[in-house]
């Protein structure tokens, strides 16, 4: 009798462990397209990602690089002080988007150009995404905001 109870417990534990493993694999599989990795312009130029990979790029908008095209098309260059990557974007840019300011873009790197599907800019006078600050500090081009 005790042997049967012990066997039943072992079966329940094994089935539960198997269900947990299957659930974890399914969640990971479902999220694989939703995970966007962050890269700096230096990382993008040193190891260009596949043109099908969606990722985030961040840095400073290079001075004098913003060129507005027809309609809502915009071209500019994002830099981390070490490398620069040309960016194209079709859409309305955030109000605070400007030259020498931090930005993060989501999109794909195709034929040497980052084709952004979304552009984010800093939202006040001192904010910059932590990833961008870290990379700019590594490159030695980060300037502390005044008053901090």
Question: Each residue of 1-26: pLDDT tens digit?
Answer: 678 888 999 999 999 999 999 999 99
- Domain ranges across the chain: 1-35, 37-139
Contact criterion met (CB below 8 Å) for 63 and 100: yes
Name the CATH topology of 37-139: OB fold (Dihydrolipoamide Acetyltransferase, E2P) (2.40.50)
15 backbone φψ class: left, alpha, beta (φ>0; ψ -120 to 50) = alpha
Specify the pTM: 0.63
Question: Each residue of 114-130: pLDDT tens digit?
Answer: 999 999 886 554 556 67
Q: Which helix (H) or strand (E) holds 75?
A: strand 73-79
Question: Each residue of 42-79: pLDDT tens digit?
Answer: 889 998 988 888 889 988 899 889 998 888 889 999 99
């Amino acid at each position: 009798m005790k042997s049967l109870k012990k066997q039943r417990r072992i079966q329940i534990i094994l089935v539960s462990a198997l269900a947990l493993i299957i659930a974890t694999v399914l969640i990971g599989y479902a999220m694989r397209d939703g995970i966007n990795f962050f890269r700096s312009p230096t990382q993008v130029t040193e190891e260009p990602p596949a043109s099908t990979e969606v990722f985030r790029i961040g840095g400073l908008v290079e001075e004098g690089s913003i060129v507005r095209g027809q309609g809502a098309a915009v071209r500019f260059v994002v830099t981390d002080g070490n490398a620069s990557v040309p960016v194209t974007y079709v859409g309305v840019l955030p109000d605070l988007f400007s030259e020498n300011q931090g930005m993060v873009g989501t999109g794909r790197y195709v034929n040497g150009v980052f084709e952004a599907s979304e552009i984010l800019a800093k939202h006040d006078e001192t904010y910059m995404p932590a990833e961008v600050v870290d990379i700019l500090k590594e490159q030695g081009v980060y300037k502390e905001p005044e008053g901090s």
